[in-house]
Amino acid sequence: MATTATISSLLLLLLLLLPSLFLPICGLSDTKAGAQFARRAHMKKLRQKVSHLHFYFHDVVSGRNATAVRVTEPVMNLPSAFGMITMMDDLLTEAPEPTSKAVGRAQGMYASAAQQELGLLMAMNLVFTEGKYNGSVLTVLGRNPPFQQVREMPVVGGSGLFRFARGFAQAHTHWFDLKSGDAVVEYNVYVMHY
Ligand SMILES: *[C@@H]1O[C@H](CO)[C@@H](O)[C@H](O)[C@H]1NC(C)=O
Ligand SMILES: *[C@@H]1O[C@H](CO)[C@@H](O)[C@H](O)[C@H]1NC(C)=O
């Protein structure tokens, strides 16, 4: 009699525990689409692609329509503005003119992280809003010394069409207004993804 009780309480315990044992696994792919994607990736039915994206980044720091706003002031009075952090929601367009077709936004921040020269830490999401990339995001994290001709920054990940993304972004200043601090930067992004 005692044994039966022990066994049935053990069974009850198992039944109660089982769902929680499986929960972490289910949580990883909690949508049907996610699970399907993972399955196809596992079966190698997904081909890795390399995409090249070309666009212009509008860093507007002046005026009432600024899209990049300084949130911390430089410290230590260094010419490199060490310690300054700027939050941005900068427009991305197809051509250098700000009125040309919008393709997305660069949302994130850049921080002056070097003491000896101007060297920015960039941490941003490239949020695409046009064509097949609409809704997909690339995440860029890297070093940007803006006075160099070409700056290269790693693409560390992505979502949507850019799942499993890795690659690099090359930035080249197209136009810079010393007085206002506004800039237009040309971006070439090369990215591998599924
Ligand atoms: C800000 O944007 C509005 C709407 O696009 C525009 O009419 C205005 O001229 C802009 N102001 C400045 C200072 O650029
Ligand atoms: C991008 O996707 C959003 C949300 O699905 C949609 O509202 C918007 O119209 C799309 N934009 C373009 C240009 O297709």
Q: Looking at the chain, which residues constitute the CATH 2.40.480.10 domain(s)?
A: 49-193
Q: Is the CB of 130 under 6 A from ligand 2?
A: yes
Number of C-beta neighbours around residue 92 at 10 A: 21
Pick from 134, 136, 159, 161 the residue to mutate for probing ligand 2's pocket: most ligand atoms within 8 Å of its CB.
134
pLDDT (0 to 100) of residue 1 = 47
Give the whole-angstrom CA distance, residue 43 versus residue 126.
30
Q: How much is the pTM?
A: 0.82
> Per residue of the chain (194 residues), what is the pLDDT tens digit?
455 555 555 555 555 555 444 444 444 446 788 888 888 887 777 888 999 999 999 999 999 999 999 999 999 999 999 999 999 999 999 999 999 999 999 999 999 999 999 999 999 999 999 999 999 999 999 999 999 999 999 999 999 999 999 999 999 999 999 999 999 999 999 999 98
Token duo for residue 144:
């940007």
For the structural domain made of 49-193, what CATH number should be given?
2.40.480.10
Q: How far is the CA of 62 from the centre of ligand 1 (A)?
A: 12
What DSSP designation does 163 have? T
Pair of tokens at residue 177: 């207004």
Atom of ligand 1 nearest to the CA of 65: 1
Ligand closest to 129 (CA) is 2
Q: Which atom of ligand 1 is nearest to the CA of 63?
A: 13
**52 Cα to the center of ligand 2, angstroms:** 21
- Positive or negative, the CA dihedral 129, 53, 141, 46 is positive
Q: What pairs with residue 61 in β-bridges? A: none
CA pair distance 48, 64, nearest whole angstrom = 43
Please give the Cα distance from 106 to 124 (Å, whole number).
Answer: 6
Q: How far is Cα of residue 178 from the mean position of the Cα atoms in its chain?
A: 28
